[in-house]
């Protein structure tokens, strides 16, 4: 069904029928429920803190049960970032979460020797996405210091791909 067909169908419904359909969607589909819960009660700060806790737990797991080894999965952060984008969370909060993801990984890298090339490649991908996002949303100047600090930390830690981090910033005259 196209958007135009949907509009036509919805315009033919009366108010009670529309309410009934929305309530049915709310009950049947968890993403709809999550969306409306966020729209009417957007606790962005608590969502951000919860997300940061989950991301940090990927690198510095709390001893619950038997798992104490860090998993270092970038996908966990990406899941939260995508969720925030779908909900329409403020771009400053999304950028903060993107930065936090890389910063916590660098903190982990400072304390632990990482052998997996994929870790460095995925951090570069996150960095590129971060820079593209803040530029697209016109908020690069607000995060300039943290973005630059991430690049400087890759140099300080002697990441093999630190030059690629620098290349991301070259066009912007940092």
Each domain of the chain, given as residue ranges in start order, spans 42-60+68-172
Q: What is the pTM of this model?
A: 0.82
Helices (H), the chain: 3-11, 15-28, 30-40, 44-59, 74-87, 91-111, 117-136, 140-156, 162-169
Residue ranges in the chain whose pLDDT is less than 50: none
User: What integer pLDDT is reported at residue 76 of this predicted model?
Assistant: 92
Helix axes 74-87 and 91-111, enclosed angle (nearest 10): 170
pLDDT of amino acid 64? 62
Please give the pLDDT value at position 67. 60
Q: Give every CB contact of residue 164 below 8 A, 6+ residues apart in sequence.
A: 124
CB atoms near residue 164 (< 10 Å): 16
Which pLDDT score, from 0 to 100, does residue 149 have?
Answer: 97
């Amino acid at each position: 069904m196209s958007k135009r067909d949907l509009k036509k169908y919805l315009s033919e419904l009366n108010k009670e029928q529309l309410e009934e359909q929305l309530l049915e969607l709310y009950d049947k589909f968890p993403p709809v429920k999550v969306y409306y819960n966020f729209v009417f009660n957007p606790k962005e700060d608590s969502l951000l803190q919860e997300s940061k806790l989950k991301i940090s737990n990927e690198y510095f797991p709390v001893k619950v049960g038997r798992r104490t080894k860090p998993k270092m999965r970038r996908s966990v952060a990406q899941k939260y970032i995508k969720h925030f984008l779908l909900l329409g969370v403020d771009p400053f909060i999304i950028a903060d979460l993107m930065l936090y993801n890389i910063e916590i990984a660098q903190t982990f890298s400072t304390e632990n020797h990482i052998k997996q090339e994929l870790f460095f490649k995925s951090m570069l991908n996150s960095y590129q996405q971060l820079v593209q996002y803040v530029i697209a949303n016109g908020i690069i100047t607000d995060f300039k210091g943290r973005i630059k600090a991430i690049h400087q930390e890759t140099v300080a830690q002697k990441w093999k791909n630190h030059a690629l981090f620098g290349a991301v910033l070259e066009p912007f005259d940092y």
